Chain A
Amino acid sequence: MNNFQPDERGYWGEFGGRFVPETLMSPIEELTDAYFAVRDDADFQTEFLNLLQDFSGRPTPLFYAKRLSERLGGAKIYLKREDLSHTGSHKINNAVGQILLARRMGKKRIIAETGAGQHGVATATVCALFGLECVVYMGTEDMRRQSLNVFRMRLLGAEVRGVDAGAKTLKDAINEALRDWVTNVDSTYYLLGSALGPHPYPLMVRDFQSVIGREARQQILEKENRLPDVLVACVGGGSNSIGLFHPFLADEAVRMIGVEAGGKGNNLGEHAARFNKAGGGKIGVLQGTKSYLLQNDDGQIALTHSISAGLDYASVGPEHAFLQSIGRVEYAMATDDEALEAFQMLSETEGIIPALESSHGIAHAVKIASEMPPDAIMIVNLSGRGDKDVDQVQEMLGK
């Protein structure tokens, strides 16, 4: 095992592990055994890739954003078009992988949490595909700002349960999903949506999302005959970014930048940038894993803020914490305003309306592209499309 694989207890360096109520340990061990049984199983992997191809439309294109690149006057910017996946974001990759696993485990009831609603929609979609019961937990604040996705989930036959605790966002939805799981351990499969939570979730979600980076690596070699100089992706829990980054980790010359939500200020509560140590990011344990958390001095988890529901979360996947600690991946921030600007810029220059989450990645690309030479190559993960966000953006722009 190299440095980029967790140890047997699910640790990357000091990050990861399993911090859950004892009741969940047997189901988690069962899940781990089931996952390791399929991880190297050719039939399972073929089934997974076939479904991604036929149901979800993979491979997604790697698109050269010519007008955007020219406008910024620097690096050539390629977009990995996860927005063209079925259901509109990368979340479907993980949902497809885990639903196949849940079926092998004989589980009939699927639960999930969702922030922006994209993971909820992806989960509701694969449950409809296989005729499984689906319950999605979602903070009521997120239900308000992502109401289109709430309706989509209901159309797909899922039950959406609003969560009114805390800031009524992703973290609170995960708490409620964990409580459901602990209560219904025998019947229920928890289909967690990001590279978070107790081992084996961060590993499993990363594996399923790594299809993004494997494709991108092959596509850029075909188009440019060389590896990219830099990869950029937004980081909520960390699944689209780790999916893009992971297949490039051993390519030492490839620089990688994860972009967190800078929100509207640097004080605790105004952003969701966990690696922003001046802004309250510290190592701690939340929702099953040890990683960087936004918290106060008493170890209480802080409220977070981001314009984008999918990045509005107090913790980050443990593999990111590790990659940050060894300096392999850099982490930057984009503010609400910068993301909003990037949202409009990509729409106007390329005819692509990005998700507000992905707009954070675009915003950082905008910042650094002009400082790079014209022969430099950058890949930005366009993790999702912005249809779900247009109402919210319209409201914010007052148009």
Chain B
Amino acid sequence: MNRLEVEFKKLKSEKRGGFIPFIVAGDPNLATTKDLILLLAESGASVIELGVPFSDPVADGVTIQAAAERALRNRIGVKDVLKIVGEVRAEGCETPIILFSYFNPILQFRLEKFASEMKTVGADGVLITDLVPEEAGDFQRILAGKDLALIMLAAPTSSNERLKKICEKASGFVYAVSRAGVTGARNEMSSEAENLVKRLRQFTDLPIAVGFGISTAAQMEEVCRYADAAVVGSAIVKEIERTPESSEVAENVRRFVKDLLPNEFSATNLH
């Protein structure tokens, strides 16, 4: 069993929802990213989503766009992101890590090389925001050959026919996008998310995580009533953004995550 399977099995047996934080690698710098991964792992993250910065992030709202710009100013590329994963594994971190990217940086790195280096450094899966099932065939086969997960996105606008195709390509878990739109914190959870998760369950036994717009403990609780995990991205990235001193970023994120996780998420010490 790979790390993702182990983690979701454990969540299930403990009847808990998972917490999946997202940060952009290299924002504000690589050393801080490494600290943040270790801290998030310790603070109760079930899976960590590590963003590969891209110059043209069409699926992202202003918060993550700005984070990608900060990372790109540090010239962070795919190889740096892989390297960071290797480093946290060397320090004993066993929390599943998935890479979150647009397709072009991976394509330029070359798909085979990307998959084998993921395997070498100990990354568990990858999610590509602009790779729909019709275009995912080659990459899916390459990843499957190495027991690496391809996390597919499903949207409220996806027809059942599309959900079926998505689930056929997906492994690890399925990422249900809570609403039509770009990433970014919202006050309300859309009712579409629950409906989407229900529809997805008809087509897959994989765990389902809900993301886009989740920023509070109450929203996480609500989502985990029907989904297996909740992704929190922009809200954490905003904490990073508003901390000018990079030495204080980790502490601020720790405080934020503590408020975010009600007891049932963080009570049991995880790893």
Contact surface of A with B, Cβ cutoff 8 Å: 9, 17-27, 29, 165-166, 171, 175, 178-179, 182-186, 282, 284-288, 293, 295, 297-301
Residues from chain A with a CB closer than 8 A to the CB of B182 are 179, 182-183
Given known pairs A17-B135, A285-B130, A301-B56, the reply for A22 and B108 (CB within 8 Å) is: no
Q: Does A286 contact B166, Cβ atoms closer than 8 Å?
A: no
State how many angstroms separate the Cβ of B183 from the closest Cβ of chain A.
Answer: 10
| Contact string against A for B residues 96-109, beta-carbon threshold 8 Å, 1 for contact and 0 otherwise | 00000001111111
Q: How far is the CA of A19 from the CA of B153 in the complex (A)?
A: 13
Q: Does B78 contact A182, Cβ atoms closer than 8 Å?
A: no
Q: How far is the CA of A22 from the CA of B152 in the complex (A)?
A: 9
Q: Which of B72, B104, B177 contacts A23 (CB 8 A)?
A: B177
| Contact string against A for B residues 43-77, beta-carbon threshold 8 Å, 1 for contact and 0 otherwise | 00000000000111111010001000000100101
Q: Does A21 contact B108, Cβ atoms closer than 8 Å?
A: no
Q: Does A299 contact B106, Cβ atoms closer than 8 Å?
A: yes
Q: Does A182 contact B56, Cβ atoms closer than 8 Å?
A: no
Using A21-B59, A22-B162, A300-B72 as known contacts, list a sample of 18 further A-B pairs with CB atoms less than 8 Å apart, ordered by residue number in A: A19-B131, A22-B155, A23-B155, A23-B156, A25-B162, A26-B158, A29-B159, A171-B56, A175-B56, A185-B180, A282-B108, A284-B104, A285-B103, A285-B130, A295-B104, A299-B78, A299-B105, A299-B108
Given known pairs A175-B58, A179-B58, A300-B55, the reply for A20 and B108 (CB within 8 Å) is: no
Q: How far is the CA of A287 from the CA of B131 in the complex (A)?
A: 12
Q: Which of A166, A179, A183, A186 contacts B55 (CB 8 A)?
A: A166
* Interface check B93, CB cutoff 8 A: no
Q: Does B181 contact A285, Cβ atoms closer than 8 Å?
A: no
5 pairs, A vs B, C-beta closer than 8 Å: A186-B180, A285-B103, A297-B77, A300-B54, A301-B104
Interface centre among A22, A26, A287 (most CB of B within 10 A): A22
Number of A-B contacts (CB under 8 A): 115
* Interface check B247, CB cutoff 8 A: no
Q: Does B58 contact A22, Cβ atoms closer than 8 Å?
A: no
Residues from chain A with a CB closer than 8 A to the CB of B57 are 175
Given known pairs A18-B132, A182-B180, the reply for A285 and B55 (CB within 8 Å) is: no
Q: How far is the CA of A18 from the CA of B182 in the complex (A)?
A: 18
Q: Does A182 contact B107, Cβ atoms closer than 8 Å?
A: no
Residues from chain A with a CB closer than 8 A to the CB of B129 are 21
Interface centre among B55, B77, B78, B180 (most CB of A within 10 A): B55
Q: How far is the CA of A214 from the CA of B180 in the complex (A)?
A: 40
Residues from chain B with a CB closer than 8 A to the CB of A165 are 65
Q: Does A182 contact B104, Cβ atoms closer than 8 Å?
A: no
State how many angstroms separate the Cβ of B20 from the closest Cβ of chain A.
Answer: 18
Q: Which of B135, B180, B181 contacts A18 (CB 8 A)?
A: B135
**Residues of chain B in range 146-164 having any CB-CB distance to chain A below 8 Å:** 152-159, 162
Residues from chain A with a CB closer than 8 A to the CB of B158 are 22-23, 25-26
Q: How far is the CA of A150 from the CA of B193 in the complex (A)?
A: 39
State how many angstroms separate the Cβ of A149 from the closest Cβ of chain B.
Answer: 24
Q: Does A27 contact B157, Cβ atoms closer than 8 Å?
A: yes
Q: Does B157 contact A26, Cβ atoms closer than 8 Å?
A: yes
Q: How far is the CA of A282 from the CA of B107 in the complex (A)?
A: 11
Residues from chain B with a CB closer than 8 A to the CB of A18 are 132, 134-135
Q: How far is the CA of A29 from the CA of B133 in the complex (A)?
A: 14
Residues from chain B with a CB closer than 8 A to the CB of A17 are 134-135
Nearest chain A residue, comparing its CB with the CB of B157: A26
Given known pairs A25-B157, A26-B159, A166-B55, the reply for A20 and B132 (CB within 8 Å) is: yes
State how many angstroms separate the Cβ of B62 from the closest Cβ of chain A.
Answer: 9
Q: Does B108 contact A182, Cβ atoms closer than 8 Å?
A: no
Q: How far is the CA of A285 from the CA of B107 in the complex (A)?
A: 8
Residues from chain B with a CB closer than 8 A to the CB of A184 are 180
Interface centre among A9, A17, A26, A284 (most CB of B within 10 A): A26
Q: Which of B72, B104, B159 contacts A285 (CB 8 A)?
A: B104
Q: Does A284 contact B177, Cβ atoms closer than 8 Å?
A: no
Nearest chain A residue, comparing its CB with the CB of B155: A23
Residues from chain B with a CB closer than 8 A to the CB of A285 are 103-104, 107, 130
Given known pairs A285-B104, A300-B72, A301-B56, the reply for A182 and B181 (CB within 8 Å) is: yes
Residues from chain A with a CB closer than 8 A to the CB of B107 are 284-285, 299
Q: Does B181 contact A183, Cβ atoms closer than 8 Å?
A: yes
Q: Does A287 contact B58, Cβ atoms closer than 8 Å?
A: yes
State how many angstroms separate the Cβ of A186 from the closest Cβ of chain B.
Answer: 8
Q: How far is the CA of A10 from the CA of B231 in the complex (A)?
A: 33
Residues from chain A with a CB closer than 8 A to the CB of B56 are 166, 171, 175, 286-287, 301
